[in-house]
Amino acid sequence: MTPPTLDFWFEFASSYSYLAVMRIEPLAREAGVTIRWRPFLLGPVFLSLGWNDSPFNIYPPKGRYMWRDLARLATRYGLPFQVPSKFPRSGLLAARVALLGAEAPWIGDFARAMMHANFADDRDITDPAVIRALLAGLGLPADALLAEATGEANKLALRRQTEKATELGLFGAPSFVTPDGELFWGNDRLEDALAWVRQPGG
């Protein structure tokens, strides 16, 4: 029997995606669930809702709360965290690379390295040099991957993937979609989504 799967929709710019990216692999392993990494861009999704920026910036009380909530959760999970000096940082290039490697064995390591750079080390993940260095640090052919990631075919694939997110009803990240079509939104629904995959209906 093939193991059950869970589609994991995430965005490198998204603060709560940071928590989910760092947590998902051990939890999925424990649950016996295979994760299908689905990088996408929140920008177009937010635009379709009428937001031209992160709602955490558009609605300051939500933003202030989010950073405090994130700090508390990072402490609980034992994750390093600092409020990035710029938020959100576009996850476009990182998502293009991640889409290219979505089925590759290095996707988890790459996603964690990028998230750590943004939300723990306050590094500029929009800088190709930062991404190149992280890829190289994983022993990957950084230049070849960046070239392919920014090729027309892959750009188009990420655009399609983001359209697919909207079609699935996603409106934020992280989001989890089960094989039977249940949508779970938010880092705090990760455990629920894994449990649903193992036993639909809970």
CA distance 112 to 114: 5
If the CB atoms of residues 111 and 165 are measured against a second copy, the closer one turns out to be: 165
Taking contact as CB under 8 A, which single stretch among the options 86-94, 100-108, 150-158, 169-177 is the one that binds a second copy?
A: 169-177
Asked if 104 interacts with a second copy (CB under 8 A), we say no
Provide, rounded to whole angstroms, the least separation between the CB of residue 6 and a second copy: 16
Asked if 160 interacts with a second copy (CB under 8 A), we say no
Asked if 68 interacts with a second copy (CB under 8 A), we say yes
CA distance 163 to 169: 10
Q: Counting runs of H as helices and runs of E as strands, what totals does the chain give?
A: 10, 4
Tell me the β-bridge partners of 34: 5
3-class secondary-structure state, position 175: strand
Write the binding mask 44 to 63 for a second copy: x where contact by CB under 8 A, - elsewhere: -----x---------x-xx-
How many residues touch a second copy (CB under 8 A)? 23
CA distance 42 to 132: 23
Asked if 171 interacts with a second copy (CB under 8 A), we say yes
